[in-house]
Every structure is written in C-alpha cells, then in structure tokens.
Chains A and B, each alone.
Chain A
Amino acid sequence: MDDQLQRLVRELRSESCPPQVMDRVAQRIAREKGLRLRHAWRWAVALMILLVALGAWQKQAGRNAQRKAAVLEVKARADRARVAEQTAGALGYIGQALLEVAAQSQDSILKEAVPPLREGLETTKNKMIKNI
C-alpha cells in the first residue's frame, strides 16, 4: 500500500463516534425500560382487578349454590315423605284386596269344591261296603 493510501487510512481510523450518539442510545433504552415498567404496572393492576372480580364472583356463586342446595334438600325431604305415604297407602290397598280375595276363595272352596268331594267319598265308601 502506498504512502498516500496509508495516510488516508490513518485519517479514516482517527474518526470516532460522537458522544451524543451514545447519549441518545441511553435515552432510548431508558425510555423503553420506562414504557415496559409502565406496561407491567398496568398489567399488574388489571390482573389484580380480574382476580378480585373472580374471587367475588366465586364467593357469590358459592352462596347461591348453598341456597340452592338447602332448597333442594327441603324439597327432597318432602318428596321422600310423600312417596313413603303413597307407598304405605298402596301397600294397604293391596293387603285389603288380598284379604278380600282370600275370603272369596274360602267361600267358593266351601260351596263349590267340598260338596262334590264329600259326595265322591261317600260313593266310594258305599261301594266298598257293598263289596265287602
């Protein structure tokens, strides 16, 4: 490389970055950091509000669920009592019907089945006596 070119290179090497560039870079970074911090703060507040709202909603939902459960319990108890009553009534009716049927069956056996049976036995006894 010739002398003049070396001088040119030397001149170019002597150049340095102006200090205001670094100042501006520092300012921009600080501003970005501040913005990020502000954004973070906003997000935190929004998250807090959301959590509080969620908590309140859950509490309210729990209370509603308890009230509903109590109402359902009372209703279920009433239903069970009614079913038991109705079942008892139905069973009583069935028992009565069975008793009536039994009484009717006894009458019909005595009136319709016993006399022919007795007659048959008499006839058989007489035939046996005759044969003896």
Chain B
Amino acid sequence: MIRELEFQLLCQRHRDEVYRYARGLLRNQADAEDATQEALLRLWKHLPKINLFSTRAWLFKTTRNYCLDLIRLQSRGATPPATDQDFVEDWPDDLALDPSAAADSTFRLEQARRLLLKLPEGLRSVFILYEVNGLRYREIADVLGIPMNTVKVNLLRARERLSRLLPTVKEEKWTTSCKD
C-alpha cells in the first residue's frame, strides 16, 4: 500500500520530466511514450531498492539507457535513423505558411523539438536536463556519467549551436509562430 502511494507520488512528480527527456532523445512520440512507460515500470520494480533521494537521477539514467538502446536497435534495423538533412527536409513548410497552424502551440513545440534533434545526443541530453527539466550540474553529471566541467562545456556548446541554428534555419517560421 505504501509502495503504491510512493510510486504514485513519484510518478506525478517526475513523469513529465521523464517524458520530456525521452521526447528530446527520440524522434518518435510513440517511442518516447514507450520509454516513459518502461522507465516508470522499472521504477515500480526497483522501488524498494532505490534510494529516495536519488530517484530523479535514477529515472533519467534509466530513461537514457532505454532510449540509447532503442536508437542502437533502430540503427541496426531496416530503417536507419534520419540525419539532420532529413529533418531540414521534413520541416513542415505547409504548416508554417498556414497562420492558424502556425499559431498552434503544438506546431511550435514540434519546431522546437526538431531544432533540438539537430544537436548530438550528448549536448542534447545536457540541454534538456538543465534547461528544460531544471537539474543541477552535479545531478546531470551523475545521470550522464561525465565530469561536472564537461556538463558545463556541453551546455555552453548546446546553447551556442541552438542560438546559431535558431536564426539561420527558418528564422521567419520560428518568430512568426512564436508571436501569438
């Protein structure tokens, strides 16, 4: 009974963060949902053994491992993961031209996600964990298994790259869609 309650509380607190992280790592929404589901189920299974103070880091670590395994599996399979060029080509021009669609927050989110997918996984992870999910440098270093200085450097690089990408790639679409 206590375990269920504890699990529910942890799910309520961390599910969005885990989903955001998975969504940032994977291209597909269904895959991100699967990753979130799997991470939460693993949390349920290992809950008695997990230190409550490090649950958040444990969840992100589990999600990352699952996502990387999935990416590796997909890269070995028949459909290789799309390259950056594919993303640029996939850019929804028709939606951008349509003002109603551009005003839609889903569209803006999709744009943000596509921009993020242009970063390498290491930079992307650091950016999502720090900027989107609000983890501290030490926590990120723990999740990714890298030194804290590397986390800081990667975060700077990620910001620089995104800043460079934002005005160059479809600048007008981003600004138009953001002005609602």
Binding site for B on A (CB under 8 A): 1-2, 4-5, 7-9, 11-18, 20-22, 24-25, 28-29
Contact = CB atoms under 8 A, between A and B. Distances in A.
Interface of chain B, helix or strand or loop or mixed? Answer: helix
Contact of A15 (B109, B159, B174): B109
Contacts of A20: 33
A13 to B, nearest CB: 5
Contacts, number: 76
B37 A4 contact: no
20 contacts: A4-B163, A7-B178, A11-B111, A11-B178, A12-B20, A15-B16, A15-B20, A16-B16, A20-B33, A21-B15, A21-B33, A21-B36, A21-B37, A22-B15, A22-B40, A24-B37, A25-B37, A25-B40, A25-B41, A29-B44
Contact of A11 (B36, B40, B112): B112
Contacts of A28: 37, 41
B166 A8 contact: yes
Interface string B152-180: 00000001001100110000001100100
A45 B174 CA distance: 65
A12 B116 contact: yes
B11 A22 contact: yes
Contact of A4 (B15, B36, B174): B174
Contacts of A4: 163, 166-167, 174-175, 178
Contact of B33 (A14, A16, A18): A18
Interface residues of B, number: 33
Nearest to A27: B37
B128 interface: yes
Nearest to A2: B163
B19 A21 contact: yes
Interface string B128-147: 10011000000000000000
B105 A14 contact: yes
Contacts of B18: 17
Contacts of A18: 19, 33
B163 A16 contact: no
B105 to A, nearest CB: 7
B109 A11 contact: yes
Contact of B131 (A9, A14, A16): A9
Nearest to B14: A17
A13 B41 CA distance: 23
A11 B15 contact: no
B16 A17 contact: yes
Contacts of A2: 163, 166
Task: Enumerate the 5 nearest inter-chain pairs by beta-carbon distance, A residue then B residue, closest first.
Answer: A17-B19, A11-B112, A17-B15, A4-B166, A12-B132
A59 B171 CA distance: 89
A15 B33 contact: no
